[in-house]
Chain A
Amino acid sequence: MIELVNFYLIPGLVLGAIYALAAAGLSLAYGVLRFANFAHGELMTWGGYAALVAVVALGISPWVALPIAIAATIPVALAADRAFYAPLRRAQPAVLLISSFGVALMIRAVVYLVWGPTPQGYARGFTPPLVFEGIRIQQRHLMILAGTAIAALLVHLLLSRSRAGRAMRAMADDPDLARVTGVPVAGVIRLTWCVAAALAAVAGVFLAVDTELTPLLGFNVLLAAFAAAILGGIGRPWGAALGGLILGVVEELSTYPLIGGAPLLEPAYKGGVAFAVLVLVLIFRPQGLFKGMG
């Protein structure tokens, strides 16, 4: 039983936390801007590499580099919006989706040019895991879980308590009504990009801490993040975060040797679990799992 917790549940929660951060940003941008931003994965990657620069140049830990990663990712998102999405604001969502794919390829190309294709890491030394009553948890995993909880709390406070967050939710509900109510639409859109990019950067750094930095870091989890966002009912950051946690845990548990000694599912197929869950949700609960729960 302790093995289930140590080798499946905790890694599942960690992966789920990263999915949750990625999906929350994706879902937030979708809610306000009404299109699926395929460049979200590349924003994660960008954040990961920005932290690397800070880690190498300043000799700090990736946790301390988080604000730098966020500060480096926000301008990329704002520039992409200004240059590519703003002129297409009234276009069909499919047009924006494809243009975001183009933005993704551009950011990825820059990453390849600057940092090359070789996987890199934040050069951490070995830190022994913490042990409580037989439960072993890596320090970095604890940090990722705590960091995700803090980010979720901050986003929650922003959306529920602040005037700007209320305007973001109002825009997501009805952009035309928000406009006639006097909401400065352009400003709210910029703020949304700032929050989405910040969440992407944090997710990217966490993912790179947990695995390693590659130019496809974010793209590799983008589809799972979409699945999580849809699972939670797209456009609802809280649902997306819960969807991410569920997917991460389900994905890891799917390889648990429940019957006999063989894994329930070969680990190679693990990546497909998110999509199997997604298909089931789309068939049986297309509005998402948490519709009507606020």
Chain B
Amino acid sequence: MSLLVARNMVGGYGEADILHGVNLTVAPGQVVVIIGPNGAGKSTAMKAVAGLVRLKPGSSVMFDGTEIANAPAESMVARGLAYVPQERNVFPSLSVEENLLMGAYARPSAAKDGLERSYAVFPDLAAKRRAAAGSLSGGQRQMVAVARALMLTPKLIMLDEPTAGLSPKFCTLIFDKVREIAASGIAVLMVEQNARPALAIADRGVVLAMGRNRAEDTGPGLLANPEIGHLFLGGNAPEEDAA
């Protein structure tokens, strides 16, 4: 039984479609990574699931047994679907704690528990709870954004390039947290440019190119696939990239 089944997603921002029939499947508790070249439609596919990109008729997005294609973006959190955009993913003038509380806006009764869990998962944030989110470093902002998305314990959290622009230390931390999140039963769908380390922690990897599915396999399977390695992973054998 899959949690998310997106079939034949077609759509884009204006006249031109960016997605030409993308399929995505995520099972409960799975980590699924979307990789692909620039302009492949990775982020757009995720935004379409989140209700931020209009899908054409014929597209289908089943989430937890309900059709949600083109449902209002603000209704997704209450369904258990959280989305963390790549950029501008915190409210800069709000404090860290206020940012987290916004994550529980749809269900205020869960706010207190959510805060406790967030500070347990990201202890660094507890010390910064009164600081304006806009004053934090990129890595800290990413933690705030992820913690906010986890406030209501979603069924699926979607992360758009969570490690973009972060130092290697923070990248490792984020990937560790992703595994932790998945271990707690929350599925993770993630777009990543850092393809190798992302696939290394992924249950499944999806390769998109030109708005279509190009390949799909387990994370290790894609890493070992010479064609994918050559086209999308820089052509290095996985071992050479370990450092």
Contacts and interface: CB of A to CB of B under 8 A. Distances in A.
Nearest to A187: B74
- Top 9 closest pairs, chain A to chain B, by CB: A182-B77, A182-B106, A173-B91, A170-B91, A179-B73, A179-B74, A180-B83, A181-B102, A182-B105
Contact of B105 (A163, A173, A176): A163
A181 B88 CA distance: 13
9 contacts: A166-B94, A166-B98, A166-B102, A169-B98, A173-B92, A174-B88, A177-B85, A182-B105, A294-B93
A176 B94 contact: no
B76 interface: yes
Given A163-B108, A174-B88, A181 B77 contact: yes
B89 A170 contact: no
Chain B interface residue count: which class?
20 to 34
A169 B105 CA distance: 13
A169 B94 contact: yes
Interface in A156-212: 163, 166-167, 169-170, 172-174, 176-185
A159 to B, nearest CB: 11
Interface residues of A, number: 19
A170 B101 CA distance: 11
A17 B73 CA distance: 40
A73 to B, nearest CB: 28
A293 to B, nearest CB: 11
Given A180-B77, A182-B78, A182-B106, 11 more contacts: A166-B94, A170-B94, A173-B91, A174-B91, A174-B92, A177-B90, A177-B91, A178-B91, A180-B85, A182-B105, A294-B132
Contacts of A167: 102, 105
